[in-house]
Chains A and B, each alone.
Chain A
Amino acid sequence: MKIIVCIKQVPDTVHVRIDEKTGAMEREGVPAIVNPYDLYALEEALRLREAHGGSVTALTMGPPQAEAALRDAIALGVDEGCHLSGREFAGGDTLATSYALAKGVEKIGGYHLILCGKQAIDGDTAQVGPELAEHLGVPFLGFVRRVREAGIGRIVVERMTEEGADVVESSLPAVVSVVKEINTPRLPSLKGKMRAKSFKATTWNAAALGADEARLGFAGSPTKVVKIFHPEARSGGEIIAGAPAEVAARLAEKLRSLGVCR
């Protein structure tokens, strides 16, 4: 079974600090990591390879430093890494990104299954997976928490819903996005890290992919950012002061007058 996993290198947003006075984001020392959800996708791909044989290829679109993400994937045991790199890819929204990835997937070819993480923690849109499926003309199964069966032409998964899950069967190839409930990602192994050391990604630009540059990057993005701003600080807060019993009583009164207590 040939599996392609789409991964993304992202800033670790848990550690991003915003300076309250200037609104500037402190980028120094914010590490770049493999998008956490993608680690679950990589793990699932490796488990499927262990069960069914075949190969796992990691694919990423990003600036030159994104090769480190592919290296991390190799250290986990992935067989190959492909890097879509070039100015023409930069600044793309999800439509442009999913188009680029689709061209990358087609270039790799011969695949049975494409896995990706539910969403990237910097963009948070969860759109690239389904859009990628549409570009490739294959089904999309999202929010998958378990792969029940997988074969060359068929897959059965549990897809999370608001109330529980659907058990869904699909033809392959298909794009599957996974959630954290699906597995526990392994840690990179020593042998994997040694392989990663000598790893060189297969790098492609738009020309190598035969991609239409008008559909890539900033130019190929129908959505544009108009502005980015600080959420407005809530104001008008009131401190209730006094002895504890008094303070509690006053708060209870306010809550009652708001109609929030029965």
Chain B
Amino acid sequence: MDYFLTEQQMMIRETARQVAREKIVPVRAELDEKEEFPWEVIKACAAADLFAIWIPEAYGGLGGGILDLCIAVEELSKACAGVAVSYAASALGTIPIVLFGSEEQKAKFLPDVASGRRLGAFALTEAGAGSDAGGVQTTAVRDGDHYVLNGTKQWITNGGDAEIYTVVAITDRSRGPRGASTFIVEKGTPGFTFGKKEIKMGIRSSSTRELVFTDCRVPKENLLGKEGQGFIVAMKTLDKSRPGIGAQALGIAQGAFDEAAIYSRQRVQFGHPISSFQAVQHMLANMAIKIEASRALIYSVARYIDSGAKDYSKESAMAKVFPSDMAMEVTTDAVQILGGYGYMRDYPVEKMMRDAKITQIYEGTNQVIRNVIGLSIVKEFAKRAQA
């Protein structure tokens, strides 16, 4: 089916596909097994200019939009979600700088991101602040020309391997939702250390670590935007990046579906390929329907965001929730279609099923995201009632 992509988007798709085929597929099982950060693949993505996609041209990027980013994430995810999330999390971590950074900050940090020399990471979540992001405890206290950060961030993707972190910390607790600020903290800053690499169910090659701030002095020039804008920065960033998570889920599902469809034609039972059995055909049909529906939703939301829309929290949330729930279903069905082989680590689908789960959890659990959508609907209809 033709998705009416622009020429640049088709080039991005082809490039990401080539990287996926030649650099990721051959090593994905080993990366998952050894839980190693995929540096070689990251370097290949960098060399192919994939990290330049979301960075403005003035800073060495391609000035692409959310759909461009989603296409790259989707293609990489078909091959391995662990690699794809390492790539996508760098976008998540540096989009705040693109949106809210000053000239100096953009000029200082973005070129290295565009070239893939340095990776980014986004640090909001804490042990007590997951869905309830307002529960952030990390503090940033002004002291002369610095802010002193204290606290611990939890489960940060690319933690330890990224060099540029956008960290949300409380600067003035008395101001409630307007009491947080976002800071750019570089790896190697004294007082900034990492916890152990977490051992996960899926996306095992991706690095997930605690970030520990102990009297960490961050220059005041690294404040992103103004004091008190912390949660705004976070929400705006997540609004932009949620379709990317949808794209990751979409890619995982597509990869699993392709494996299942191929296998179903090869596997012969009762003298027939199992693809000739209606039960299997219906499974494949349902998987395919859900995948196309997800793709249509993600692409149209991404295009809407790229058109310059001001308010798209609800749509962006939808573009994350539906594909991620779908991916869990599709990958589970893929394992089912491969049967006994699907359960074996020698075959790629069990990893895809393990990988898919996290997409329902991070960047907002699908439950809290439904809250976001629900609230948005209520407000919208309240406005209509008043009009």
| Residue ranges of A at the interface with B (Cβ–Cβ < 8 Å) | 186-194, 197
Contacts and interface: CB of A to CB of B under 8 A. Distances in A.
A193 to B, nearest CB: 5
A186 B62 contact: no
Interface of B: 7-8, 11-12, 15, 18-19, 22-23, 44, 47-50, 52-53, 62
Contacts of A194: 8, 11
Nearest to B11: A193
Contacts of B52: 190-191
> Which of B7, B15, B44, B52: most chain A CB closer than 10 A?
B15
Name the prevailing secondary structure of the B interface residues. Answer: helix
A188 B62 contact: no
Nearest to A77: B47
B44 A191 contact: no
B152 to A, nearest CB: 38
Contacts of A189: 15, 47-49
A187 B62 contact: no
Contact of A191 (B19, B22, B23, B49): B49
A190 B48 CA distance: 6
B12 A190 contact: yes
B11 A190 contact: yes
Given A193-B11, A193-B15, A194-B11, A187 B53 contact: no
Nearest to A190: B49
> Which of A186, A187, A190, A192: most chain B CB closer than 10 A?
A190
Contacts of A188: 15, 18, 48
A192 B12 CA distance: 12
A189 B62 CA distance: 12
A187 B49 contact: no
Contacts of A190: 11-12, 15, 48-50, 52-53, 62
Contacts of B7: 197
Contacts, number: 35
Contacts of A186: 44, 47
B19 A187 contact: yes
B48 A187 contact: yes
Nearest to B16: A190
B4 to A, nearest CB: 19
B47 A187 contact: yes
Nearest to A76: B47
Contacts of B49: 189-192
Contacts of A191: 49, 52, 62
B359 to A, nearest CB: 26
15 contacts: A187-B22, A187-B23, A188-B18, A189-B15, A190-B11, A190-B12, A190-B15, A190-B49, A191-B49, A191-B52, A192-B49, A193-B11, A193-B15, A194-B11, A197-B7
Contacts of B18: 187-188
B44 A187 contact: yes
The 7 closest A-B pairs by CB, nearest first: A190-B49, A189-B49, A189-B48, A191-B49, A193-B11, A186-B47, A187-B48
Contacts of B8: 194
A188 B15 CA distance: 7
Contacts of B19: 187
Nearest to B50: A190
Contacts of A197: 7
Given A186-B47, A190-B48, A191-B62, 9 more contacts: A187-B18, A187-B23, A188-B15, A189-B47, A190-B15, A190-B49, A190-B50, A192-B49, A197-B7
Contacts of A192: 49
B15 A187 contact: yes
B72 to A, nearest CB: 9
B301 to A, nearest CB: 23
A197 B7 CA distance: 10
A98 B47 CA distance: 33
Contacts of B50: 190
A166 B22 CA distance: 32
Contacts of B44: 186-187
A17 B62 CA distance: 41
A197 B6 CA distance: 14
B349 to A, nearest CB: 27
A231 to B, nearest CB: 33
A15 B18 CA distance: 19
A188 B23 CA distance: 13
Nearest to B62: A190
A78 to B, nearest CB: 15
B234 to A, nearest CB: 29
Contacts of B11: 190, 193-194
